[in-house]
Chain A
Amino acid sequence: MSVSTQCALFSLSAAGWITRMRLQVGHWFSHGRVPYAWLVLSLVAVGVPLVSGDYWLNAILIPFLILSLAGLGLNVLTGYAGQTSLGSGGFMAVGAFATYACLIHFQLSFLLAIFLGGGVAALVGLFFGLPSAKIKGFYLMVTSLAAQFFLEWVFVKFPWFYNYSSSATISSPPITVFGWAIASPLSKYYLVLVLVSFLTWVAVNLTRSQVGRNWMAIRDMDTAAAVIGIRVHRSKILAFAISSFYLGIAGALWVFAYLGSAGVQSFSLQRSFQVLFIIIIGGLGSISGNFIGAAFISLLPLLLDFLAHTFFARMVDAGLLQNLQKVIFGSLIVWFLIKEPEGIARFISHLRGRLAVWPLRF
């Protein structure tokens, strides 16, 4: 056997081995979702605090996780149930202010307060979801815009909501969870991580169950959904309530685990747009898309900033540099959406599918 034939055979068998390994890994990825999720979770729980300082936890990871949760909330409504909304900021505000009221006015423990705050947000979301029986698409979006402006007005108009403070803001009192003081960045990080993981798990259950399929059926064709016996309006309202519950929890965490003190301007229309961009960029109707989208929105500007300052700090004027970063950020969003209109989550799953058969066909 000539050397070249041996080489060819070897490369063939190597290719075969690599393919098998890749198929196996692909199999784990696509079927062993739970161990995979546990792997990621334990990594971020144990590994991340080891390598990142307080600044990273406080200023980057905590807001990233909370925005992912908010994305999850809106994705339930928009990505799964197909109801567009620009009221995310308003529902986050309801969660934050209701949690504050539970803490200050009713002296409840923090965990109870935050879940009650989410519950109040769910009720408000349910109420603003009622018109979805008759109104669809852009018109429904305008209804949600009304909700946004109304809620912003409420939390400025009635001082009871901010405990009559002169600055019209709410400030986090000292928080304990099961006797543990949540004061250090690390403890706040773990609080957020535990809540976000738990709620993500619930969202995965819901979207894979009959409830989630009903939502997606309504999203894809609501008349057909009614004909096969899905209670369309009830499902839509449920989506509004659950979505607002998630947004409410995210809003409360935004104040009590991230900012420390905030006014209603933290939950303005701009926040609604931010959450909407997260799910559009990450992927409508995808759970992981929320995390990817939130990472894109909150981490990419930091990366660009870092790169700009490392490489171009002395060459380009600082003001121009900042504008250039925005241009690059915007272009990247446009590029991604052209490459994959269904979001980065879909982009990655396509890539994974191609990598699984890599040496044979790319």
Chain B
Amino acid sequence: MTSADLHDHMLEVKDISLSFQGVKAIHQLSFAVSRGEICALIGPNGAGKSSLLNILNGVYQPDSGEVHYEHAHFSRLTPFEAARRGIGRTFQNNALFGKLAVIDNILTGLSRHSRVSVLEQAFGLPRARREAADFLQRSEAVLAFLELQPYRQTLVGNLAYGLQKRVELGRALVSSPKLLLLDEPMAGMNAEEKQDMSHFIRSINRDLGTTVVLIEHDIGVIMDLSDHVVVLDYGRKVGDGSPAEVQANPEVIAAYLGSDNGPLNTVH
């Protein structure tokens, strides 16, 4: 099950360490994500989950270790390079463009696909207009998929938090990423909104074949949604396996959930 050679690993993290001014955020962490799976990163606050996502798309540089992605390995990766290689990302605290409308936020996700020169755009030449029409069509499709059409022209800054999360997912999705990194996509949502978001993530995974790595705190959602769970605590990996395996792992229960009446026990 965990043997590296048997699987088609899309992403492999090897012995990654990261520290901030002497404070170790991540310590000698290794794990692999198979192509087409939904992998959940769980762990208490400060366990290094967000830092890990930031390493995976080049926002942080690890002190040591390597990231293998699509059979290429990196010790240094820039955010732009990560985006170019098909890694999409959403943030824990929404990182949207507040003064742009929903549709324009989605359209920015296609920027790196633009092949038209500045002069062509300045004079509205046919190639620029064709590309703009194509981009608009792709963005409209994402709006429809995420049921955001009623908010098409609303400034993102005026939207409710849950809807903002959906717009951010759309912005990452429109560029057809191969790997989607979602940092707490359901934080601050009510049960119904969480259900909607789970549904969207599942259909992105199944219908578009996108591999997903997500951070989430709601254990019920994780057990339901993910194929693979990695548990972090103080920057170390304390559990790695299927949801059922992790749920049964005494080390995980002790380190993360407490020895008795943790949230895992309430999940069937």
Identify the A interface with B (CB < 8 A).
202, 205-206, 209-211, 213-214, 216-217, 219-221, 223-231, 238, 285
How far is B135's CA from A217's CA once the two chains are assembled, in angstroms? Answer: 16
How far is B119's CA from A209's CA once the two chains are assembled, in angstroms? Answer: 11
Additional 16 contacts, C-beta under 8 A, given A230-B111, A230-B112: A205-B123, A205-B124, A210-B116, A210-B131, A213-B104, A213-B107, A217-B111, A221-B98, A223-B79, A225-B97, A225-B108, A227-B89, A228-B108, A229-B80, A229-B111, A229-B112
Judge whether B100 is part of the interface by a CB distance below 8 angstroms: yes
Q: Which of B57, B88, B91, B128 contacts A209 (CB under 8 A)?
A: B128
Q: Are B80 and A221 in contact (CB under 8 A)?
A: no
Residues of A near B203 (CB, < 8 A) are: none
Q: Are B122 and A217 in contact (CB under 8 A)?
A: no
Q: Which of A213, A216, A221, A229 contacts B83 (CB under 8 A)?
A: A229
Given A228-B109, A229-B111, A231-B80, A221 and B118 contact (CB-CB distance below 8 Å): no
- Distance from B124 Cβ to chain A, minimum over Cβ atoms (Å): 5
Given A209-B128, A214-B108, A230-B108, A238 and B89 contact (CB-CB distance below 8 Å): no
How far is B123's CA from A362's CA once the two chains are assembled, in angstroms? Answer: 40
Given A209-B132, A210-B114, A228-B171, A217 and B108 contact (CB-CB distance below 8 Å): yes
Q: Are A210 and B83 in contact (CB under 8 A)?
A: no
Q: Which of A202, A216, A231 contacts B97 (CB under 8 A)?
A: A216
- Distance from B142 Cβ to chain A, minimum over Cβ atoms (Å): 13
Residues of A near B97 (CB, < 8 A) are: 216-217, 219-221, 224-225
- Distance from A196 Cβ to chain B, minimum over Cβ atoms (Å): 16
Residues of A near B95 (CB, < 8 A) are: 221, 223-224, 227
Give 27 A-B contacts (CB < 8 Å), ordered by A residue.
Answer: A202-B122, A205-B121, A205-B123, A205-B124, A206-B121, A209-B132, A210-B110, A210-B132, A211-B121, A213-B100, A216-B99, A217-B108, A220-B96, A221-B95, A221-B97, A224-B91, A224-B97, A226-B80, A227-B59, A227-B89, A228-B175, A229-B80, A229-B83, A229-B84, A230-B80, A230-B108, A230-B112
Residue of A nearest to B157 (CB): A220
Judge whether B102 is part of the interface by a CB distance below 8 angstroms: no
Given A205-B122, A210-B121, A210-B132, A228 and B83 contact (CB-CB distance below 8 Å): yes
- Distance from B3 Cβ to chain A, minimum over Cβ atoms (Å): 33
Q: Which of A205, A210, A223 contacts B111 (CB under 8 A)?
A: A210
Q: Are B59 and A210 in contact (CB under 8 A)?
A: no
How far is B114's CA from A211's CA once the two chains are assembled, in angstroms? Answer: 9
Q: Are A213 and B123 in contact (CB under 8 A)?
A: no
Q: Digit string of B210-225 for contact with A (CB within 8 Å is 1, else 0)?
A: 0000000000000000
Residues of B near A206 (CB, < 8 A) are: 118, 121-122
Residue of B nearest to A82 (CB): B99
Residue of B nearest to A285 (CB): B99
- Distance from B67 Cβ to chain A, minimum over Cβ atoms (Å): 16
How far is B172's CA from A213's CA once the two chains are assembled, in angstroms? Answer: 16
Q: Are A213 and B111 in contact (CB under 8 A)?
A: yes
Residues of A near B100 (CB, < 8 A) are: 213, 216-217, 220
How far is B249's CA from A317's CA once the two chains are assembled, in angstroms? Answer: 90
Residues of A near B112 (CB, < 8 A) are: 228-230
Residue of B nearest to A208 (CB): B132
Residues of B near A214 (CB, < 8 A) are: 108, 111
How far is B103's CA from A250's CA once the two chains are assembled, in angstroms? Answer: 34
